[in-house]
Amino acid sequence: MNNTLAIFKRELGAYFSTPVAYVFIVIFLFLTGIFTFYMGNFYERNQADLEPFFGFHPWLYLFLIPAISMRLWSEERKTGTVELLMTLPVSLGEAVAGKFLAAWCFTAIALALTFPIWITVNYLGNPDNTVILAGYIGSLLMAGGFLSIGSCISALTKNQVIAFVISVVICFLFILSGFPLVIDFFSSWAPQAIVNVISSFSFLTHFESIKKGVIDIRDLVFFASLIAFWLYANVLVIDLKKAS
């Protein structure tokens, strides 16, 4: 536990000691603003909620989260520090958890910095703040899902660009699987059970319901088990790959 904490602190510090953190946060806030106010028609809808704000999060995360996660392990492998880390008295699980939590905490900070939008909507009207809170929780869980995928992929390669591209593709598949386009394609010939399984893997399906203020235990279990699965895969990948 102490080791996880030490690695967590080091990793989070690493984000802020390079321009990465600031660039990311500025771009994230800028894009959420654009999406919410221009593409989401925040004002024109005349509704006191953050639906247009959260609605674009999956698409923002699709590109921004792999940009955070790509360096998690590939940089360690490239600079050789993975050898240092793995010869410290730290278990692989502790290291993976510490790094993942640092990246997740960093996204939480970026997400928290969108608070002016919450103030705005409260100033303009009387939104249901519990729904907004649920939206934030759902968004953070989804970010965790994306991050766990990205963390695992970044352990596969020394090259951050490759890690980024593969992570985007896999994250895209996880979003797409709930899309009407994909669902329609499968529902025309596959049994309903399979269609359900495919759509149940979609981040969109689970995020949609949380976003509406319904925190269903199934959605929480989905994200928790998704994160657990990818982090476990992450541990296996590092163990296999560290020699090469």
Partner 1 sequence: MDYAIEVQNLNKTFGALHAVRDISFTVSRGEVLGFLGPNGAGKSTTMKMIAGFLEPSDGRVAVCGFDVSQFPLEVKKRIGYLPEGAPSYGEMTTLAFLRFIAEVRGVPASEREQRIMDSIRMINLESVIDQRIETLSKGFKRRVGLAQAILHDPEVLILDEPTDGLDPNQKHEVRLLINKMAQNKAIIISTHILEEVDALCSRAVIIAKGQVMFDGTPAELQSRSRVHNAVSISLNTTDDAGVVEQICNTLQALDCVHSLEQQTTENGVTRLLILPLNGVSIIQPISEQVHSHDWPVGEIRIEAGRLDDVFRSITTGGDVVQSEVLS
With beta carbons less than 8 A apart as the criterion, state whether 154 and 146 touch: no
Q: Is 1 in the site for partner 1 (CB under 8 A)?
A: no
- Report, in Å, the least distance between residue 26 CB and partner 1: 19
- How far are the Cα atoms of 83, 228, 238 from residue 138, in angstroms, in the given order? 36, 17, 29
14 binds partner 1 (CB under 8 A): yes
Interface residue with partner 1 among 1, 2, 46, 119 (CB under 8 A) is 2
Closest approach of partner 1 to the CB of residue 240, in Å: 11
Q: Assess 62 for contact with partner 1 (CB under 8 A).
A: no
């996660």: which residue's tokens?
A: 69
Q: Are 96 and 104 in contact (CB under 8 A)?
A: no
Among 17, 46, 188, 192, binds partner 1 (CB under 8 A): 17
Nearer to partner 1, 86 or 190 (CB): 86
19 near partner 1, judged by CB under 8 A: no
CA distance 169 to 167: 5
Range 35-68 burial, b when 16+ CB lie within 10 A, else e: bbbeebebeeeeeebbbbbbbbbbebbbebbbbb
**DSSP structure string for 98-138:** HHHHHHHHHHHHHHHTTHHHHHHHHHHS---HHHHHHHHHH
Judged by CB under 8 A, the chain residues 79 through 98 that form the site for partner 1 are 79-81, 83-84, 86-91
Stretch that binds partner 1, among 78-86, 116-124, 134-142, 150-158 (CB under 8 A): 78-86
CB of 13 to partner 1, least distance (A): 7
Q: What share of the chain is helix, strand, coil (3-state, %, to 5)?
A: 80, 0, 20
Q: Contact at 8 Å (CB) between 143 and 65?
A: yes
Identify which of residues 71 and 206 has a Cβ nearer to partner 1 in the complex: 71
Q: What is the closest distance, in whole angstroms, from the C-beta atom of residue 25 to partner 1 in the complex?
A: 17
Nearer residue to partner 1 within complex by CB, 2 or 126: 2
Q: Provide the 10 A C-beta neighbour count for residue 79.
A: 11
105 sits near partner 1 (criterion: CB under 8 A): no
The least CB distance from residue 94 to partner 1, in Å, is 9
Which range in 12-20, 107-115, 175-183, 193-201 contacts partner 1 by CB under 8 A? 12-20
Residue ranges that bind partner 1, judged by CB under 8 A: 2-3, 6-7, 9-10, 13-14, 17-18, 79-81, 83-84, 86-91, 242-244
